[in-house]
Amino acid sequence: MKKRILALGVSAVLAVSMLAGCGGSGGSGSSAVAGGSSAAAGGSDVIKVGVFEPQTGENGGGGLQEVDGIRYANKQKSTVKIGDKEYKIELVEVDNKSDKTEAVTAAQKLVSEKVIGVIGSYGSGVSIAAGEYFKDAKIPAIGCSCTNPQVTEGNDYYFRVCFLDPFQGTVMANYAKKVGCTKAAVLTQKGDDYSVGLGTFFKNAFKNFGEIVADEQFETGAQDFKAVLTNIKSKNPDVIFAPSSIATAPLIIKQARELGITAKIMAGDTWENGEIIKNAGEHAEGICLSTFFDEDGVDEAGKAFITGFKAYLKENGKDEVIPAVSALGYDAYNTLIAAIEKAGSTDPSKVQEALKGVSVKGVTGDISFDDNGDAKKDMAFIKTVENGKFKFLETQKVQ
C-alpha cells in the first residue's frame, strides 16, 4: 500500500469552471453569514447554501478547517447555471458551537433561511442532532468528516463524502497489529458519538487478534487524565487508542508521556490538527492517526487544488498546511453544486434526488453514494508526527 496510488482530482467539468473562476483575495468572496441579502449585486438570482459547522467550542478548530475548504470552493465556483439562468451561490454560515442543543438551533436557522442544501458538520454528534430537522424540511445535507454511521442511518436527506468509523476503526486496529501491538487500551469521551463509536469499532477489530486490557472513559471537559492513565499504565498495553477532540488530545498525550507510558498512542481523523502538535510539544512525536487525504500522489487537478488552497490560506494569514477536513469541505461543496446542476432545479428535494446518482472526482477520491448516502470509499491514510510535523506513512485498506 506504500505506493500511495489514489485516483484524485476534480472532474473535468468542475475543474474548468473552477479555474475560470480564480481571482480575488482574502476572505470567502461571496460568503455570507446567516441573515444575508437574498439578492446579489446587479440583481442576479441567489441560491443559498448552508454551512453547518462548529466555529467555536470543543471542535471549533476542526470546524473552521472545514469552513476554509468550503469558502475556498465557493471562491472558485461562486455561480451555477440552471437552464438559461445563472445563480450566485451565497454561503449562509451558522455556528453550531460543538453542542447538540446549539446544533438544533443552528439547523433551524438554516431551514428558516431557505437554503437549497447544507454542508457539514465536523463532529458526528451535532450532525446526528440536526439530521431530523434537515430531513423534515426536505433539505439535503452533505457531511464532510462526520464519520459515525448514525449520521445517515434512516435519513435519506443526509449524505457524506468521508469514510465511516467502522472502516476507520478497523484500519487503525489492523495498523496496530502490523506494528506489533497485541495489547490495547481504549480511552474515549463519555457521551460523545464520535469518540465512543470509533473506540468501539477499534475494539471489535482488535479483539480478532489481540487483547483489550483496559477500556476507560472520561467526562466532557476533563483536564486531568492522570488517574485513568495510571490505571491504563498498570495494564501495560502496547497501544493506547484515544479518539478525542483537538482540545483534549494534547492533554492525554502529554500526561501519558509524563507518567512514563511508552505505549504507542493512536487515534482517528480528528488528531490531524496542528494545534495538537503545538500544545503537546515534544510529546506528540510518534503518535499515529488515520485521515482522509495526503498531498502526495495527486494528479494535475489535485496539484492545482493544493497550490490554490495554500495561496488562499496564506492570503488569510494561516499556515500553508492542508488539513484533510479542508479537502473534504472542498469536495462536499463541489458535490452539492454538481447535484444542483444534475437536478437542473433550485428545489431542494430534486437536489436530494440528484445526489443519489451524482459522481464527482474529488481531491479526496472519487465520490458517489451508496443506498445509505455514504461515500463509497475504501482507503485511509496513516500519518505520524515526526520532528514536529505530520508525516505520511502509508495507505491502508480493509480487506
Cβ–Cβ under 8 Å, residues 187 and 240: yes
Rg (CA), the chain: 20
Least reliable range by pLDDT among 113-127, 295-309, 345-359: 295-309
Cβ–Cβ under 8 Å, residues 245 and 196: no
- What integer pLDDT is reported at residue 9 of this predicted model? 39
- What integer pLDDT is reported at residue 399 of this predicted model? 60
How many angstroms separate the Cα of 91 from the Cα of each of 9, 80, 135, 291? Answer: 24, 13, 20, 26
The three cell numbers of residue 297 are 500522489
The distance in angstroms from the start CA to the end CA of the chain is 12
Q: What is the pLDDT of residues 196-229, one digit of tens each?
A: 999 999 999 999 999 999 999 999 999 999 999 9
Handedness of CA 267, 131, 86, 35 (dihedral sign): negative
If pLDDT is split at 50, 70 and 90, which confidence band does 18 have? very low
Share of the chain above pLDDT 70, in %: 88
Q: How far apart are CA 169 and CA 165, in angstroms?
A: 6
If pLDDT is split at 50, 70 and 90, which confidence band does 44 have? low
Q: What is the pLDDT of residues 275-295, one digit of tens each?
A: 999 999 999 999 999 999 988
3-state secondary structure 136-199: HCCCCEEECCCCCHHHCCCCCCEEECCCCHHHHHHHHHHHHHHCCCCEEEEEEECCCHHHHHHH
Q: Which of 76, 116, 95, 99 is nearest to 34 (CA)?
A: 95
- What integer pLDDT is reported at residue 301 of this predicted model? 77
How many angstroms separate the Cα of 383 from the Cα of each of 84, 238, 267, 286? Answer: 47, 18, 10, 9
What distance lies between CA 150 and its chain's CA centroid?
A: 15
- What integer pLDDT is reported at residue 33 of this predicted model? 42
Q: What is the pLDDT of residues 75-125, one digit of tens each?
A: 999 999 999 999 999 999 999 999 999 999 999 999 999 999 999 999 999
pLDDT over threshold 60, residue 385: yes
If pLDDT is split at 50, 70 and 90, which confidence band does 145 have? very high
Q: Report, as an integer, the average pLDDT of 52-57.
A: 97
Amino acid letter, 146: C
* Domains defined along the chain, listed by start: 12-162+294-368 (3.40.50.2300), 165-291+381-396 (3.40.50.2300)
Q: How far apart are CA 235 and CA 333, in angstroms?
A: 46
pLDDT over threshold 60, residue 19: no
Ramachandran assignment for 352, one of left (phi > 0), alpha (psi -120 to 50 degrees), beta (any other): alpha
Question: Is 93 in a helix, a strand, or coil?
Answer: strand
